[in-house]
């Protein structure tokens, strides 16, 4: 179903994120017929170029980043929807021209794909030039603040000109198909929710591991580290969706209220429950990649987190994320408890059920169940997976789902905020993160070294072994 006609302005339309994700995503939505003919996309950035120059830039981006659905006719038709205005966020140049370009009677959306230092300037200019209305939407990218104080300031800056219902804070993890499926599985079945609590769940693991290092983002990354760059936002969001109470409706505030309650119920994680790491070998090291020999910023973190409420009392959540790891994977593993009593004498293979929700790669779910090993050998038990890879279950085509960014941008045009973070959520997440970071700053805590391409420092394994548990193995 096509969305309503819109004018989408991409501030930073010539930047890396626009080139790799936003513009290719918009093309795919156009290709799939979700974008009405009247829709327009306006690049707005510092570079002096005209609309044709921007179209050439976007053509290059589509050639590079659109593999399936690349069709010359469709690309030309898509490019015809593009326009470009050179603006200076910090000055006056270009704003009158932008104001003239915007049409009345269509949805106005402004994507702030620029550094957060420019958010306030852009919001001010939009307001001064009267280019917004009560229905206009703004989309803001991460990082949303560096700590609670800066996040509050950023929220206040945006709130000066926009109502909370107009602000779309992107966390692209929330746009992933499987994340929405997590809610469908939890609240659309009778099978899981009754067991989804401390009485039946032994523990939950959330892993987001990357094989790449810090790449060209060294300077930025070294100032944030894994805790700020990944845990405070992406892992926290996954934790919330896994742990939250059933919302009364699938609507933005009902869902976000429940997520907020989870964040507020988090206990501060003590020093003993955190392992920080930095990749390091003779050939390759984090310190060289960020060009800061004395850096104590972590490129890996593993932690045991507790949620102080009735549902989860006694069930820990283990989070881990890192760069230069063995496998690129994002997944949530729900490990159920073992049956209270075994009736089988030859109790060789029996263990606990495990539900794995994979965000990438091969989006899908996997549930291990214990069965009898086939054959005449007596009552021997083995664990087998009930695999629910969507591509297999539904066919390749149905599993060819929109990328997170394209889905989220269409939600902005539709005015649906469910998969975006609310201001108070972001602040609550920082309020939990800040004291932990302050604690290790005070201690001048040094990360443990780990081999690039490994599963992280040995100490992260010990964090689990201590509790007689194991991380799901990275392959
Ligand atoms: P970039 O440096 O590649 O692009 C910046 C864009 O901003 C350019 O188009 C530039 O012309 C424009 N710009 C800079 N100063 C300006 C000014 N004064 N007036 C008008 N335009 C100006 O940055 P990026 O990597 O595309 O990142 C954009 C935002 O998205 C940042 O907030 C970043 O943290 C966030 N982000 C990026 C990625 C990514 O993969 N690149 C991922 C997640 C979040």
- Reported as a pLDDT band with limits 50, 70 and 90, residue 371 is confident
- How many Å is the Cα radius of gyration of the chain? 24
Tell me if 90 CB under 6 Å of ligand 1.
yes
SS3 at position 254: helix
Instruction: Tell me if 72 sits within 8 A of 38, measured CB to CB.
Output: no
pLDDT at site 165: 97
* 204 pLDDT tier (thresholds 50, 70, 90): very high
How many angstroms separate the CA atoms of 420 and 259, rounded?
Answer: 11
Residue 87 has pLDDT above 70, yes or no: yes
Whose C-alpha lies nearest to ligand 1, atom 1? 15
Report the alpha-carbon angle 220-225-226, nearest 5.
Answer: 130
pLDDT in tens, 232-273: 999 999 999 999 999 999 999 999 999 999 999 999 889 999
Nearest CA to ligand 1 atom 40: 17
Closest CA to 334 of 349, 351, 317: 317
Q: For residue range 271-291, what is the model confidence (pLDDT) as tens digits? A: 999 999 999 999 999 999 999
What's the 3-state SS for 335-401?
EECCCCCCCCCCCCCCCCCEEEEEEECCCEEEEEEEEECCCCCCCCEEEEEEEEEHHHHHCHHHHCC
> In whole angstroms, what is the distance from residue 71 CA to residue 63 CA?
10
**Residue 264's pLDDT is what?**
98
Confidence label for 469 from pLDDT (cuts 50, 70 and 90): very high
Band of the pLDDT at 380, cuts 50, 70, 90? confident
Ligand 1, atom 9, lies closest to the CA of 12
Q: Containing H/E element for 322? A: strand 317-322
ipTM of the complex: 0.97
Pairing of strands 201-209, 329-336: antiparallel
Residue closest to 219 by CA, chosen among 229, 206, 233, 204: 229
The Å distance, Cα 80 to ligand 1 centre, comes to: 24
Res 395 pLDDT > 80: no
- Could you tell me whether strands 107-112 and 6-11 are parallel, antiparallel, or unpaired per DSSP bridges? parallel
234 flagged as catalytic? yes
* Cα 379 to Cα 124, 135, 245, 261, 353, distances in angstroms: 72, 65, 39, 46, 18
Supply the mean pLDDT for the chain.
93
- CA 185, CA 189: separation in Å to the nearest integer? 6
For the entire predicted model, the pTM comes to 0.94
Q: Kindly give the pairing relationship between strand 274-279 and strand 137-140.
A: unpaired
Largest CA distance in the chain: 82
Q: DSSP of 168-212, one letter per residue?
A: EE--GGGGSHHHHHHHHHHHH-SSSGGG-STTTEEEEEEEEE-SS
For ligand 1, is residue 15 a contact (CB within 6 Å)?
A: yes
Of 234, 271, 341, 465, the catalytic one is 234
16 marked ligand binding residue: yes
């Amino acid at each position: 179903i096509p969305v309503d006609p819109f004018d989408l302005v991409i501030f930073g339309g010539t930047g890396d994120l626009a080139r790799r994700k936003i513009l290719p995503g918009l093309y795919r939505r156009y290709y799939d017929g979700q974008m009405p003919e009247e829709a327009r996309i306006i690049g707005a950035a510092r570079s002096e170029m005209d609309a044709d120059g921007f179209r050439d830039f976007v053509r290059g981006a589509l050639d590079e980043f659109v593999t399936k659905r690349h069709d010359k006719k469709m690309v030309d038709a898509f490019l015809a929807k593009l326009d470009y205005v050179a603006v200076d966020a910090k000055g006056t140049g270009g704003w009158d021209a932008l104001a003239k370009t915007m049409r009345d009677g269509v949805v106005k959306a402004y994507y702030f794909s620029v550094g957060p230092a420019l958010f306030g300037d852009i919001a001010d200019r939009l307001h001064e030039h009267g280019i917004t209305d009560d229905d206009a939407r703004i989309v803001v990218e991460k990082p949303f603040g560096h700590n609670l104080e800066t996040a509050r300031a950023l929220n206040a800056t945006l709130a000066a000109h926009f109502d909370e219902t107009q602000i779309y804070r992107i966390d692209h993890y929330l746009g992933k198909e499987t994340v929405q499926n997590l809610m469908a599985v939890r609240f659309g079945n009778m099978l899981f929710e009754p067991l989804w609590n401390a009485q039946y769940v032994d523990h939950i693991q959330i892993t987001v591991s990357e094989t790449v290092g810090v790449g060209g983002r060294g300077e930025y990354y070294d100032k944030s580290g894994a805790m700020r760059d990944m845990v405070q936002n992406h892992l926290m969001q996954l934790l919330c969706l896994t742990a939250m109470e059933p919302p009364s409706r699938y609507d933005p505030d009902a869902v976000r209220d429940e997520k907020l309650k989870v964040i507020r119920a988090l206990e501060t994680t003590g020093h003993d429950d955190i392992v920080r790491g930095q990749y390091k070998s003779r050939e390759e090291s984090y310190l060289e990649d960020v060009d800061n020999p004395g850096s104590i910023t972590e490129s890996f973190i593993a932690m045991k987190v507790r949620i102080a409420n009735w549902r989860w009392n006694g069930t820990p959540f283990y989070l881990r994320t890192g760069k230069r790891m063995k496998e690129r994977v994002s997944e949530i593993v729900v490990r159920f408890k073992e049956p209270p009593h075994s009736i089988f004498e030859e109790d060789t293979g029996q263990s606990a059920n495990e539900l794995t929700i994979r965000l990438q790669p091969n989006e899908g779910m996997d549930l291990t169940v214990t069965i009898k090993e086939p054959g005449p050998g007596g009552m021997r038990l083995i664990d087998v997976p009930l695999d629910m890879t969507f591509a297999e279950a539904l066919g390749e085509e149905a599993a060819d789902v929109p990328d997170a960014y394209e889905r989220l941008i269409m939600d902005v045009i539709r005015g649906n905020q469910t998969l975006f973070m609310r201001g108070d959520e972001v602040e609550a997440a920082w309020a939990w993160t800040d004291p932990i970071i302050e604690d290790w700053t005070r201690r001048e805590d040094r990360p443990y070294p780990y081999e690039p391409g490994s599963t992280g420092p040995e100490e992260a394994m010990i964090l689990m072994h201590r509790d007689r548990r194991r991380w799901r193995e990275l392959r």
